[in-house]
Structure 1
């Protein structure tokens, strides 16, 4: 659906947004979801701008005006090219679909945050930060399996917990089977031609030549989280593309090695993973689960 993106803070645009939701078509729902996310991102950027001192020699009402216009365009662009995943969640709810909508992944997984917005505004909020209780529960649930897998790969176990958190939204968006049960696929590994196990389908967004393309793809399904970690260990441990991942003790280097190996098509995947590895949410979850 090709259309001119409206001013997300214009009252008349909000009225149009309300009218579009009544149409109910998938195209209209997609446009509504993208505009809703653009509104949210615009507010985030505005709030972040206001938190930065603005009394320099080059500050004026004119620069603030152009800066606001730039942020508005950035918010609209991000909402059309993957954004932070909010539009996909809203669209899924509007369509009433049972197929999970997962942001950006290539052979292995999605990325769920707006690194571009953070870098543009000069600050980086914690990605996909859930309530501390949710983070603690997720860390506690997967920590034993992460330790075993990490020992095989020669990496710190919290790196794997961070990647699983990024891939699944701290366990809240694990791909489901047709009957609604979990696939236990913590790393969103696809089911290629050589896969002999169970398969589930999920809708995904991938980047091709810098453009977001939506598809329904086949993913591997397991009987437990332990099986998911074991399969991830085989993938990373046996594929030469991920030689730089194995034995890596630096979180940023671990994330970059995954992206360089082709784990995800999202150009910001490494940055998003790095911020979770180094972020307060994971740190607090680890501390709470260790008590």
Structure 2
């Protein structure tokens, strides 16, 4: 059961485990909708197992003469669809699960305000929302990510996110790294597209992640003057960077690097939280800037707020 652009579910078979990755993908952009669909998926699996148990009990008491592998498969598929049609009803199991998960996610604004009114002498409670958990140990960043943001004067930033959204989602499906995190990193590396790496003729190299061309790179390259921190000192150096034919190629190459380079294995493993992702990249040596993780965390914070404001 998946979520399409309008928020409705597709007609995929109930209990299809292949949909879990897409539910996880949608959670980074719309956690509430993802919880609703995950609750329905769980109820569908439960109903399917209940139907299966009933059929198995009936078959034990009165076995059918026409039972075979083909009819068994057809019956299982029919049960899947029966389960799908029976889920999501008012007062059902999915509604109970959704309410429980929603309480665990919390609404930081209303929850903190009500608790403060009821217990004015108590210290401010920590954030328990989806974004709060994503930022994990960085409490200041978690609180900042919850604040609304004005879109005034941010048209280019919004356009940057819309331009790269599809490529980022494709990379997310490949790596498991949230699309939001990758778009934020691309925004940080390219200055929201204002400082893109250029080819010798002035055209864009489409390299929004600032990936350099090592000895093993067989594709096009471009030489660029960049700033590196060497021995604690910022220095201007000429470096060879990868050049792509499109932004989609840039995101795809980034995804391949994250998946296949052992150096970034921990980054992918810890990409469920902003803190783990940003710190992982710095530890892996993605950039020489000693403040890289902090800067990237702030950029992801801004990107999340922009996405909520434009949703």
TM class, shorter-chain normalised? 0.5 to 0.7
Q: How many residues align?
A: 164
Taking structure 2 as the reference length, the TM-score comes to: 0.50
Q: Residue 200 of structure 1 aligns with which residue? A: 222
Choose from 239, 258, 277 the match for 1:217.
Answer: 239
Deviation at 1:164, TM superposition (A): 0.2
Distance (whole Å) between structure 1 residues aligned to residue 226 and residue 202 of structure 2: 18
Tell me, yes or no, if the aligned pair for 2:278 and 2:293 is still in contact at 8 Å.
yes
Q: Residue 190 of structure 1 aligns with which residue? A: 212
Q: Residue 4 of structure 2 aligns with which residue? A: none
Q: Which has the larger radius of gyration?
A: 2
Tell me, yes or no, if the aligned pair for 1:139 and 1:289 is still in contact at 8 Å.
no
Tell me, yes or no, if the aligned pair for 1:132 and 1:284 is still in contact at 8 Å.
no
Q: Residue 139 and residue 210 in structure 1: after superposition, are their counterparts in 2 closer, same or farther (change >3 A)?
A: same
Deviation at 1:283, TM superposition (A): 3.1
Q: Residue 276 of structure 1 aligns with which residue? A: 299
Please give the per-residue CA displacement for 1:235-273, whole angstroms capped at 9, x wherever unaligned: 111111111111421011100000101101100000000
Deviation at 1:289, TM superposition (A): 5.2
Please give the per-residue CA displacement for 1:47-84, whole angstroms capped at 9, x wherever unaligned: xxxxxxxxxxxxxxxxxxxxxxxxxxxxxxxxxxxxxx
Alignment of 1:16-55 (within 5 A): none
Q: Residue 251 of structure 1 aligns with which residue? A: 274
Alignment of 1:66-215 (within 5 A): 131-215=153-237
Q: Residue 93 of structure 1 aligns with which residue? A: none
- Where 1:245 maps in the other structure, the secondary structure is helix
Tell me, yes or no, if the aligned pair for 1:137 and 1:289 is still in contact at 8 Å.
no
Tell me, yes or no, if the aligned pair for 1:146 and 1:161 is still in contact at 8 Å.
yes
Distance (whole Å) between structure 1 residues aligned to residue 309 and residue 198 of structure 2: 28
Tell me, yes or no, if the aligned pair for 2:180 and 2:304 is still in contact at 8 Å.
no
Q: Residue 241 and residue 130 in structure 1: after superposition, are their counterparts in 2 closer, same or farther (change >3 A)?
A: farther
Deviation at 1:288, TM superposition (A): 5.5
Structure 1 runs of 4+ off > 6 angstroms?
A: none
Distance (whole Å) between structure 2 residues aligned to residue 130 and residue 213 of structure 1: 35
Q: Residue 130 and residue 154 in structure 1: after superposition, are their counterparts in 2 closer, same or farther (change >3 A)?
A: farther
Gaps of 5+ in 1: 1-122, 124-128
The structure with higher relative contact order (CA 8 Å, sep 6+) is 1
- Is residue 2:251 matched to residue 1:229? yes
Q: Residue 130 and residue 276 in structure 1: after superposition, are their counterparts in 2 closer, same or farther (change >3 A)?
A: farther
Tell me, yes or no, if the aligned pair for 2:275 and 2:297 is still in contact at 8 Å.
yes
Please give the per-residue CA displacement for 1:86-134, whole angstroms capped at 9, x wherever unaligned: xxxxxxxxxxxxxxxxxxxxxxxxxxxxxxxxxxxxx9xxxxx993101
Q: Residue 289 and residue 179 in structure 1: after superposition, are their counterparts in 2 closer, same or farther (change >3 A)?
A: farther
Taking structure 1 as the reference length, the TM-score comes to: 0.53
Deviation at 1:284, TM superposition (A): 4.4
Choose from 284, 293, 300 the match for 1:261.
Answer: 284
Distance (whole Å) between structure 2 residues aligned to residue 196 and residue 131 of structure 1: 40
Q: Residue 134 and residue 217 in structure 1: after superposition, are their counterparts in 2 closer, same or farther (change >3 A)?
A: same
